[in-house]
Structure 1
Amino acid sequence: MAGRLLLGAIRTLRPTERVWRSPPVRAVHPSPALCAGHNKWSKVKHVKGPKDEARGRMIAKFVMMIKVAVKEGGPNPDMNVNLAQLLEQCRNKNVPKASIEAAIKNAEKAKPASQHIFEARGPGGCLLLIEVLTDNSSRSQQDIRGVLSRNGGMLSEGARHNFSRKAVVVVPGQNVTSERALELAIEAGAQDVQETEDEEDDAPLLRFICDNADLRKVRASLEELGMKVTLWDSEFVPRALSPLDREQLEAASALIEALSDCPDVVRIWDNIQAQS
């Protein structure tokens, strides 16, 4: 996904052979005046250890984010939009109920933490935005700088200017044609719709993109149209894409996975496109 929430955007790893694939991702536009589509890059999977370890990292990141959301907005999801979104994502990722309840209960005891976004440049000149949740921003910056240096990247001010903050509503895309996806986007009031795949089970997904102010309206409209919303969030959507060849894609994937292993990293966004 565009924004790799180390939850839906969380980049999980599977114990498979490294595979090179280029699944088609087609952007469907309601009108030429609306924002351009984002042709997501191929999923390059790596052998990084047992799947249980990857899932453990994912759950740990969810727990950390829940604690911060509770401290900032309270434990009631009806009154705390950020917490409500996290709980929905937890359900979609089958995070254990006990872990969720413990995170909410222990939120007040958690160390104060803040969110930061580090801007970086990776292999082939691709741009990355790295969101962290940390109680020590200097330590996190040093850790991220080290990972970037070891994997062909560097911190790079100004990368954020290549991204726009948008709301994204995700629904299953099974048995939905491109023509129907376009119709749904128009009816729901979305600016753009992208066809992509779930990074875990390769199931087809539709990502409806809109302004953050229109998130609730678009989500409600899609549900009224009979679509099951599985995720909604605010993401950084690239204004321009960076085409990478196969070797560069391999290197970029290795860099992103190394960054994902950093305990403070929550999400990573990129502007990568597989070179045709």
Structure 2
Amino acid sequence: MASAARALGALVHKASSLSSSASALRSAAVLQGRGSAGGSARLFQKHAARWRISTFQPLCMGRRSCKIAGRKDAQNLKKMKRNSKIGKEIVAAIKKGGPSPSSNTTLAAILEKARELDIPKEILERNIKRASEKGQDTYTEKVYEVYGFGGVGMVVEVLTDKITRSIADIRNVVKDCGAKLADPGSVTFRFRQARVVNIKVTDADKDQLLTVALDAGADDVIEPNFDDDDDDDDDYDDDSSEDVSERFYKIVTTSENYPVVLSKLQEEGLKFETDNGYELLPLNPIEVDDEAMELNKVLVSKLLELDDVDAVYTDQR
């Protein structure tokens, strides 16, 4: 056991030292995305749908600074949820296969992923310790489905050590918000799972990105949604650089082709988000009015406040 602990400690230390050189990106951007679609953009015309995935901006009636804050909050919450999920996965892996990465390949893979995601060392150590605590249960993956407002469907991903707690908490939030839990399979068919590479729009030229994605065999490139008043605000020049840092392009590909896309991006010197890579993408995004959008925003926010909830996907455009 002592040798296993030393091996685990050494791997965690290595993960921590290497993480400082990881090329993590911070948030995403504003570009004029609905202009002429020339050159290589035509190669993606059959995939021209533009989707917004589990990111809700506060309705602030044209207040640009509030919209920027909403995007920043969403990115910070995404990182927090990602770190939390890694911690839960560490506990589950140790519970199932022991604390030694040399004999527990699942744990070794999670620690390697944590290094790539630049997860803080203290999070790894805290959850390694938690796994050995008396009374700590393992974690189980669950998916819950919700009917939102305006015909919108939501998929709630959960990794929990108490299933009865997670469903009770989700049911209470849904009820308090005036929404409705859906039967299994009622919403998930509206989505497809794909590997997604997120790239800050300030780190890539659109035409270059489309060409690289095509050469790598990607399925689609999704541009960020743009607010109607992005170019109309008087304070655009003051806030644009901050706003731009909160927008992403999304390269969509298969699991098999994911490493090829990453390799191509690296060859071209294009930076990308060091994230988990999996997202649920809506097949037919739904347009809703402002009232439904606000209600859905509140519902998603309250669901994400729950410790057991790791992600919420919606087919709202």
TM-score over 0.5 for the alignment? yes
For 1:108 and 1:271, the matched residues in 2 are separated by 40
For 2:282 and 2:79, the matched residues in 1 are separated by 30
Alignment of 1:1-276 (within 5 A): 30-34=43-47, 36-39=49-52, 43-44=57-58, 58=81, 60-69=84-93, 71=95, 75=101, 80-89=108-117, 91=118, 96-109=120-133, 110-157=136-183, 158-174=186-202, 176-196=204-224, 202-230=245-273, 231-273=275-317
Partner SS state of residue 150, structure 2: helix
State the TM-score, normalized to the length of structure 1.
0.73
Higher strand share: 1
Query: What do residues 128-160 of structure 1 show as CA deviations (whole Å, max 9, x unaligned)?
Result: 100011122233112211111111211113100
Contact 1:85 1:233 in 2 (8 A): no
Q: Which has the larger radius of gyration?
A: 2
Partner SS state of residue 237, structure 1: strand
The aligned residue for residue 14 of structure 1 is none
For 1:123 and 1:23, the matched residues in 2 are separated by 29
Letter in 2 for 1:207: K
Query: What do residues 14-35 of structure 1 show as CA deviations (whole Å, max 9, x unaligned)?
Result: xxxxxxxx98777967444558
- Report how far residue 220 of structure 1 moved: 1.7
Please identify, of 217-226 and 115-124, the stretch whose mean Cα deviation from structure 2 is larger: 217-226
For 2:316 and 2:152, the matched residues in 1 are separated by 6
For 1:175 and 1:133, the matched residues in 2 are separated by 33
For 1:56 and 1:239, the matched residues in 2 are separated by 25
- Unaligned segments of structure 1, at least 5 residues: 1-21
Partner SS state of residue 170, structure 2: helix
For 1:113 and 1:33, the matched residues in 2 are separated by 41
- Unaligned segments of structure 2, at least 5 residues: 1-29, 60-65, 226-241
CA separation of 1:64 and 1:35: change in aligned 2, threshold 3 A: farther
Contact 1:37 1:192 in 2 (8 A): no
Higher helix share: 2
| Cα RMSD, aligned residues only | 3.7
Letter in 1 for 2:288: L
For 2:212 and 2:271, the matched residues in 1 are separated by 13
Contact 2:91 2:138 in 1 (8 A): no
For 2:258 and 2:303, the matched residues in 1 are separated by 29
Partner SS state of residue 215, structure 2: helix
- Report how far residue 121 of structure 1 moved: 0.9
Please identify, of 175-184 and 139-148, the stretch whose mean Cα deviation from structure 2 is larger: 175-184
For 1:145 and 1:23, the matched residues in 2 are separated by 39
**Percent of matched pairs sharing the same residue:** 25
State the TM-score, normalized to the length of structure 2.
0.64
